[in-house]
Structure 1
Amino acid sequence: MPSVSETQGILNGADLLFDEAACQQALDKMAEEITEVLGNEYPLILSVMGGAVVFTGQLLPRLLFPLDFDYVHVSRYGDKLAGGEFNWSRAPQEAVENRSVLILDDILDEGHTMAAIKDKVMQLGAKSCHCAVFTNKLIDKPKPMQADFVGLDLPNRYVFGFGMDVRGAWRNLPAIYALK
């Protein structure tokens, strides 16, 4: 675990990409788009832990329609910066069969984790599966899937804040930063 001074140094040396107001506007826009598509479906919302906790906590109160909530925990990263094998800590506990499902995650980077979650949801018998990501990283290679709802597009840099961490810190920031 880095020290307080180390983490403060990371933040002080970072570039602000999206301030709190821009993040809140993106949430409002996403809520409108999701409501238009899923507002009459009584969907099951699946949040991907732990990065999506900030996004989920701020999006759900903006979705003014009935929904069920659950979460999944799957990762390819752990403490590493590069993806590895999938580690499923928790699959959906709510019944998925014949449901409209919306998966929420903080970032669509290369897209492999989200694609695996969506495949799992469909294998469990979901009627439909949509994906919403607060951020979409613009990378130079094709992704196995695209999100149905995107809050903000990001440059291909290491980003943190608004649920995304750097060395385990700064998920709690209300804005999005990038390492220099």
Structure 2
Amino acid sequence: MICLADTAGSVGNEKRLLRLSRKTNMLMQEVICLPDNDGSLFLWRNFMLEFQAERAQSLLEKTELIHDAATVRAAVARIAFELNQRFGQPGSPAYPLVLGVMGGAVVFTGNLLPQLAFPLEYDYIHVTRYGDGDRGGRVEWKVIPRKNVAGRIVIVLDDILDEGETLAQVRQRLLDMGAAEVVLAVFADKETGRKKAARADHVGLTVPDKFVIGYGMDIHGAWRNLPEIRALRPEAIAS
């Protein structure tokens, strides 16, 4: 059986579900079930795609602009300039390894790399942190560097520095693997007002202590593609 959530308890209320999802941002609690066949599966998939699109659009309408696209581009260019000054001058450390943190940093990394004017090697890592809230917890490495980091300068690129717990553990793991130095470059640094477990060496811009989206940062998987940075308004979080 394929089950749909519906407060009304009857088939055919997809539009009502979509309207309700604008307020709740989640599927309803009561469940109806359809026969498990190709037709039902097609209807289910179409419903979920429409639901997700409606939810994403509704959430975007509840955001406010924090940094426009021009400010974002300038922030990336500033990090590129700083890294070029540090690694692109005569006598600078040679051939650093650049690691992008998937998946939030993919947009930042893709725009930064073409602006770096020194020889480098690129790889990526993928980590997930488990724990209560934003502090503590264990980092699970889903993808470790394929390149040997021993004795090398490693530049880690990430989308946002929140509490710094994940990046602190990433840096320590790379040092334990033999990296000579780990340089942290983040696109955004969140102004939490609290002491962070790690500080970035290079920061593009700061964002307020709010839920921010755009330029690689998502909400429910959506809006990583925004060229600007937006924050959810309080009513969006409360709904």
- With the length of structure 2 as denominator, give the TM-score of the two structures: 0.71
1:68: how far off? 0.1
Equivalent residues of 2:80, 2:115 under 8 A apart: yes
1:115-146 Cα distance to aligned partner (Å, 9 max, x none): 11110111111111100000000112100111
Q: 1:37 aligns to what?
A: 86
Q: Give the Cα separation in 1 of the matches to 2:203 and 2:63.
A: 23
Residue 149 (structure 1) aligned to one of 172, 185, 202? 202
Mapped to 2, the partners of 1:77 and 1:35 lie a distance apart of: 35
Among 101, 124, 130, the alignment partner of 1:48 is 101
Give 1:168 shift: 1.2
Number of residue pairs aligned between Structure 1 and Structure 2: 179
2:134–2:163 Cα contact (<8 Å) kept: no
Match of 1:11 among 50, 57, 60: 60
Q: Which amino acid aligns with 1:19?
A: D
Give the alignment of 1:1-180 within 5 angstroms.
3-39=52-88, 40=92, 41-76=94-129, 82=134, 84-180=137-233
| Aligned partner of residue 72 in structure 1, secondary structure | strand
Structure 1 runs of 4+ with >6 Å offset:
none
Q: Greater RCO between the two (CA within 8 Å, min separation 6)?
A: 1
- Supply the AA of the counterpart residue of 1:136: D
Q: What is the rounded CA distance, in whole Å, between the counterparts of 2:70 and 2:193 in structure 1?
A: 28
Q: Deviation string for 1:81-130 (max 9, x for gaps)?
A: 75643221011110101111100000000001001111011111111110
Unaligned runs of 5+ in 1: none
Give CA-to-partner distance per residue, 1:23-52, whole Å, 9 cap, x none. 000011110001111223211000000000
SS of the equivalent of 1:16 reads strand
Give the TM-score, by structure 1 length.
Answer: 0.94
Secondary structure of the structure 1 residue equivalent to 2:138: coil
Q: Which has the larger radius of gyration?
A: 2
Q: Please state whether the residue corresponding to 2:173 is helix, strand or coil.
A: helix
Inter-partner Cα distance in structure 1 for 2:221 and 2:197: 27
The CA deviation at 1:77 is: 6.2
Aligned CA-pair RMSD: 1.8
Gaps of 5+ in 2: 1-47, 234-239
